[in-house]
């Protein structure tokens, strides 16, 4: 039997066996208090992961070509990943005026996603993603933003410690560093009312990149947060030909050859984050990194291998962007992983 035929058969067996188990058996016990080292152990649970992108952060799931299936969770687990990050556009599925109620059917869909992650023993990050109105007019959306987190927190307050909250993806535009520094702390206060020991990820302003680090201050008396950043440098390589980026076609043909200068650029960027995190005694998560499919595959593999290796060497958990779309490691048309990209992320796969 060929390897290609063997993998789908094994997946069916995994799904069948896992389906016979009560998912409650896989849920870690709910703790009542945590020590200062707890959050670092939580970060280890995230380990190596992947984003389930272009699905639930679309206005409606499926509109961007991805509708989540159970087999994706099995594939991700079988490949050797520890976690998934699930971008979610809650703002498209909640009332625009008070009480800002989240649609019951959409909430049920997120329940299913969380249950699949737990079923396949994957840690899971759920976030608020593509809250476009928030980026344009933060003040007008603040009450809604906090009310969304009140509902999400209440819904999942008894979930496993393998469920992580990420407050907001890539604050940008009118959501300045100063405003974000205030709003995330208010959202964290809301979360802590029902989830006193839930591990929470805090991203950076200015689209989540390193430049947003200078505007971030950490709350006092808080020892259970992970700081998350996104990495797409050099941008003209990782986003060449990207249809949503003005002028990106001019970058087509950019390569990443892994020269000493190119590697030092990555190392220097990471050292900025690592030095800051060490001074604050807080763990780091690389919530997004990836290169678009219009870059040549050899360069993509070299870049991904190096960035992932830097994260692992520095005990930074990561989630690659993303599973099965334009940056993806899995091809839905052939039902196969790209072996080069997969091995860049999971060398033992």
**Span 98-118, mean pLDDT?**
98
Instruction: Specify whether the CB–CB gap between 231 and 288 falls below 8 A.
Output: yes
Is the confidence at residue 203, as pLDDT, over 60? yes
Does residue 15 register a pLDDT over 90? no
Average pLDDT on 98-122 reads 98
- Would you say residue 2 has pLDDT above 80? no
Q: Return the pLDDT at 14.
A: 55
Q: What pLDDT band is residue 1 in, cutting at 50, 70 and 90?
A: very low
Q: Tell me the average pLDDT of the chain.
A: 93
> What pLDDT score does 36 carry?
83
Confidence class for position 34, pLDDT limits 50, 70, 90:
confident
In tens, the pLDDT along 326-336 reads 999 999 999 99
Provide, rounded to the nearest whole percent, the portion of the chain with pLDDT above 90: 88
Whether residue 18 is predicted with pLDDT greater than 70 in this model: the reply is no
The mean pLDDT value for 237-252 works out to: 97
- Residue range 289-308: average pLDDT? 98
The 10s digit of each residue's pLDDT in 161-179 is: 999 999 999 999 999 999 9
User: What does the pLDDT read at residue 22?
Assistant: 47
Identify the band that residue 35 occupies on the pLDDT scale cut at 50, 70 and 90. Answer: confident
Report whether pLDDT(30) > 60.
Answer: no
Query: Are the C-beta atoms of residues 128 and 90 closer than 8 Å to each other?
Result: yes
Through-space distance between the first and last CA atoms of the chain, rounded to whole angstroms: 19
Residue of 36 and 78 predicted with greater confidence: 78
Kindly tell me if the per-residue pLDDT of 26 is higher than 70: no
Distance CA(304)–CA(270), nearest Å, equals 14
Average pLDDT over residues 236-262: 98
- Return the higher-pLDDT residue of 297 and 32: 297
pLDDT above 60: residue 12: no
Q: Where are the domains of the chain?
A: 40-345
pLDDT for the residue numbered 13:
54
Q: What is the pLDDT of residue 31?
A: 46
Q: Which residue has the higher pLDDT, 191 or 8?
A: 191
Mean pLDDT over residues 130-148, rounded?
A: 98
CATH number of 40-345: 3.20.20.80
24 — pLDDT class (breaks 50, 70, 90): very low
The token pair at 205 is 């302003």
pLDDT of residue 27: 43
């Amino acid at each position: 039997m060929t390897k290609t035929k063997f993998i789908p058969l094994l997946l069916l067996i995994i799904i069948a066996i896992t389906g016979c188990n009560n998912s409650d058996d896989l849920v870690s016990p709910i703790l009542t208090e945590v020590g200062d080292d707890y959050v670092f152990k939580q970060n280890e649970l995230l380990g190596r992961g992947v984003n389930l992108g272009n699905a639930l952060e679309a206005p409606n799931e499926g509109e961007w070509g991805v509708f989540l299936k159970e087999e994706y969770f099995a594939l991700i687990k079988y490949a050797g990943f520890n976690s998934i990050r699930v971008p979610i556009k809650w703002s498209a599925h909640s009332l625009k005026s008070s009480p800002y109620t989240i649609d019951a059917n959409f909430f049920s869909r997120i329940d299913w996603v969380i249950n699949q992650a737990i079923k396949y023993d994957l840690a899971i990050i759920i976030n608020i993603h593509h809250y476009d109105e928030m980026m344009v007019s933060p003040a007008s959306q603040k009450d809604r933003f906090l009310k969304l987190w009140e509902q999400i927190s209440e819904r999942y307050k008894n979930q496993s410690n393998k469920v992580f909250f990420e407050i907001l993806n890539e604050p940008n535009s009118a959501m300045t560093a100063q405003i974000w520094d205030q709003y995330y702390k208010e959202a964290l206060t809301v979360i802590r009312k029902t989830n006193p020991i839930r591990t929470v990820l805090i991203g950076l302003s200015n689209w989540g990149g390193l430049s947003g680090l200078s505007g971030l201050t950490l709350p006092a008396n808080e020892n259970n947060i992970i700081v998350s950043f996104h990495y797409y440098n050099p941008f003209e390589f990782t986003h060449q030909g990207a249809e949503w980026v003005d002028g990106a076609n001019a970058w087509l043909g950019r390569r990443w050859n892994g020269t000493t200068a190119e590697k030092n650029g990555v190392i220097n960027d990471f050292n900025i984050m690592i030095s800051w995190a060490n001074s604050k005694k807080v763990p780091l998560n690389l919530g997004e990194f990836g290169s678009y499919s219009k870059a040549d595959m050899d360069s993509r593999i070299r870049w991904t291998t190096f960035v992932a290796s830097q994260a692992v060497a520095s005990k930074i958990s990561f989630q690659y962007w993303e599973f099965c779309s334009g940056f993806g490691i899995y091809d839905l048309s052939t039902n196969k992983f790209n072996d080069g990209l997969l091995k860049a992320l999971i060398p033992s796969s």
